[in-house]
Structures are given as structure tokens and as C-alpha cells.
Amino acid sequence: MAFSRPTLTDLRQQALQDIQNGGISGVNALLRFSVLYVLAMVLAGLAHLHYGYLDWISKQAVPWTATGTYLEAWGALKGITRKPATAASGQVSFTVSGTETVPAGVSIQITGGLEAVSTAESVTSNGTTVVPCAVQASGAAGNVAAGSSASLGSPVAGIQTVGTVTQAFTGGADVEADSDLRPRILNAFEEGGENGSSKDYIKWATEVSGVTRAWVNPNGFGAGTVVVYFMMDNTRSSEDGFPQGGNGAAAAETRYAAASGDQLIVANALYTKQPVTALVIVCAPNPQPVDFTISDLGDDNTAANQLLIKGALQDMFVRLSGPGGTLFQSDWMEAIGALGLDQFSVSEPASSIVASNVGSMPVLGTISYAS
């Protein structure tokens, strides 16, 4: 039976009763500002703090309720560490009048107030110089789409001050939250040692900053290959969670073309942990939009309810969809039904949603509302 923690009011009342029933001669009632009354309030407050501290200690004593550094300590027992914040990097192009270049270490301002620094001397060709850059501050806010505006922090002779992001800034991720770290730790306690199983590849992939979901297709590209698909729902929210880059293997893998962008980051991370004979190929799933037609909402056909329906369907796809997977009618009926609408019907899709191929992943398309 769970322990019922007394409230501060309960403790105050108990302290007053203890004083009144404690045998002190002549004490039948306590005035509000009497010494004994004040002492009772102080003792009750101290007891309440002690109960709170003990309650906090009990939460840190097990990994499923631990927080902060205590959760990290539980993860350390299984070799699980919190994903650190990472800085995004990309390329910016400027127009030049001759063969001038931008040296390394030059400050570049990106749209949105981001400050980047050139990481190497730019390469100039055909009136344009391309500058490799890295955002100074770590975090997902540093991910910037191609086409954004950029400007030199200090003028460089022969180079226009205003330029354009020609290669999207990618790789930026926030520090992993407790809510994301905890499931990885609990999964590690559930499982045994690492041996290159499908669960191990999923674990290794989701340890990479920004990766939220991963799937494995053994022998997906032939015998001896391991195909790993992944999503970055938070870092790549503007791209519906889909990684940005080219599919492929790690930079050190000589048996297959190297990946690029987000895929290369994951592939390089897996290369240090995978079995030596495995050829690991990292891919982004191919989105397969699925349109919905919802009718018979009656009085519930409001803008607010339509927004709730969209959110419920998006959550369903995040929870249940995967590359090469199948979603059933009961899945979306349950998701929408949980909203408590008086009535509704779904005419499209008329049957289960089946991925068109092993690399395709069903995602939410357009929602139409019929009368």
C-alpha cells in the first residue's frame, strides 16, 4: 500500500494536538501568537520539509523516477550517457569580384540572430566563394534551411557583405531531456549485453544527438548488410522529422559509398560499435503521405476539433508508423475516438495502410472534412 504523505495542514494540527495533550499544566488552548503556537508551526514546517526530502530521495532511488544527475548515474551503470547539445554546420556563399576568399575564423551572421564562424578558408569559383561554417552556440536552433540570408560580421575586400546559405546548417541538437534519456536507460536494464542484434542497432542509433526513432532491416541490401532507418522528430521538425542528407555508409567504410549530412553523422557513430563484418548502411525513410477524409462530425465539426484530430493522427503515425510497416483501421479509429467526439466516421483510408516498399514510411497527408 502506498504511503500517504501528510499535508502541512495535517502536520500543524498534529503539532498543536501534541502540545495540548502533552501534559503541560494549564495548557488547554493556544493563542495564535503564543510561543507554543509559534513553535508548533515551526516544527510542523520542518517536518513537512523532511517528508519532502524523503519523497525526493525515494524518486532518485530507482531509474524510472530519477531525474537530472541521478538519472545520469543510473545510466552510467549501463554505459548510457545523456546526449550533449551539438552545434550545426553548413555552407554560405558570397559573390566576389575577383579571386578573393574568406579566411577561417571570420564571423558570419545568419538569419534569426545566429552567429557562425568560418571553419576553413573559402573556395572561390565563377564569381562565388563558398564558406564552410559552424554555428557558435549548440542547439537545435542552429539548424537553418538553405536559402536563408547570411552576412559577414566584418567586411572582406572584394566580397559582397550579404550572402546566402547554400548548404543547410544541420547537426544541431539540444541537450537530451530526462523524458528521452529515461526510456533508453530502462531499455538497457531490460536487455542483456550488446552483440549486434537489431535492438543494439536501434539503441546505438538513438544515442546520437537528435535521433528520436530508429528501425533495422537485416540483410536489407543483400547478405551481410544492415540497413538502419532513423528519424529526427525534434531537430528536423520543419522537415516533418525526416533526416537531411544522402544515404550511405560511414566515412571509414570502404565497401560502400559514404553517406552525407545527418545520415553520415549516424553512420559514423554506428561504425565504432557495429560488428566488424557488418556492412551498415544508414538511410532516411521515404515519406508516403496518406490522406484522410473525415465526415459525420455534426456539431463537433469546429476548427478546434479539427486541430485536435490532426494532432491525434500525427501522434498515431509517430507511435506506430515505420519503414515498410502497416497501420490498421483500428489504429486511427482509436486515436480519434480518444478525443471524446460525439460522432465521426472515416471514409478514407478505406482499408489498412501498407507501406509501398520496405523503405517507405506512411505519414499523415491531407485531412478533408466532409459534411
Confidence of residue 1 (pLDDT cuts 50, 70, 90): low
Whether omega before 362 lies within 30 degrees of 0, making that bond cis, reads no
Mean pLDDT of 237-256: 91
Q: Tell me the pLDDT band of 228, cut-offs 50, 70 and 90.
A: very high
Amino acid letter at 165? V
DSSP of 74-97: HHHTTT--PPPPB--EEEEEEEBS
Long-range residue pairs from 69-76, CB within 8 A, at least 24 positions apart, any chain: 71/178, 71/181, 71/182, 71/185, 72/181, 74/185, 75/181, 75/184, 75/185, 75/188
Reported as a single tens digit per residue, the pLDDT across 273-330 is: 998 889 999 999 999 999 999 988 888 888 888 899 999 999 999 999 999 999 999 9
Residue 230's pLDDT is what? 96
Say which range, 250-254, 286-290, 341-345, 367-371, has the weakest mean pLDDT: 367-371
Q: Where are the domains of the chain?
A: 8-61, 87-170, 198-283, 289-369
For residues 76 and 69, give the distance between their C-alpha atoms in angstroms, rounded to a whole number: 10
With a CB cutoff of 8 Å and minimum separation 6, the contacts of 18 are: 40
pLDDT at 216: 95
pLDDT of 53 above 90: yes
User: Please, how many CA atoms are within 13 Å of residue 100, restricted to the half-sphere of its CB?
Assistant: 14
DSSP calls for 310-345: HHHHHHHHHHH--TT-EE-HHHHHHHHHTT--S--E
Longest Cα–Cα distance of the chain, Å, equals 100
pLDDT tens by residue, 155-192: 888 888 899 998 888 888 889 999 999 998 998 888 76
Q: Which phi and psi (to 5°) does residue 72 adopt?
A: -65, -35
Contact yes or no for 278/352 (Cβ under 8 A): no
Q: What is the pLDDT of residue 31?
A: 73
Among the listed residues 146, 171, 168, the one whose alpha carbon sits nearest the alpha carbon of residue 87: 171
**Are the C-beta atoms of residues 168 and 144 closer than 8 Å to each other?**
yes
Q: What is the predicted pLDDT for the residue at 269?
A: 94
Whose grid coordinates read 495542514?
9
Note the pLDDT of residue 249: 94
Q: Which residues pair with 173 in a beta bridge?
A: 86
Phi then psi for residue 117, to 5 deg, are -130, 135
Average pLDDT on 13-33 reads 74
- Please indicate whether residue 27 or residue 141 has the higher confidence score (pLDDT): 141
Split at pLDDT 50, 70, 90, the class of 51 is: very high
Residue 193 has pLDDT above 80, yes or no: no
Q: What is the mean pLDDT of residues 80-101?
A: 89
Q: What is the mean pLDDT of residues 100-124?
A: 89
If you count DSSP H runs as helices and E runs as strands, how many of each does the chain have, helices first?
8, 15
Task: Give yes or no for residue 100 having a pLDDT over 90.
Answer: no
Low-confidence winner among 187-191, 240-244, 258-262, 270-274 (lowest mean pLDDT): 187-191
Q: In the prediction, which pLDDT does 23 show?
A: 59
Across all residues in the chain, what is the average pLDDT?
Answer: 89
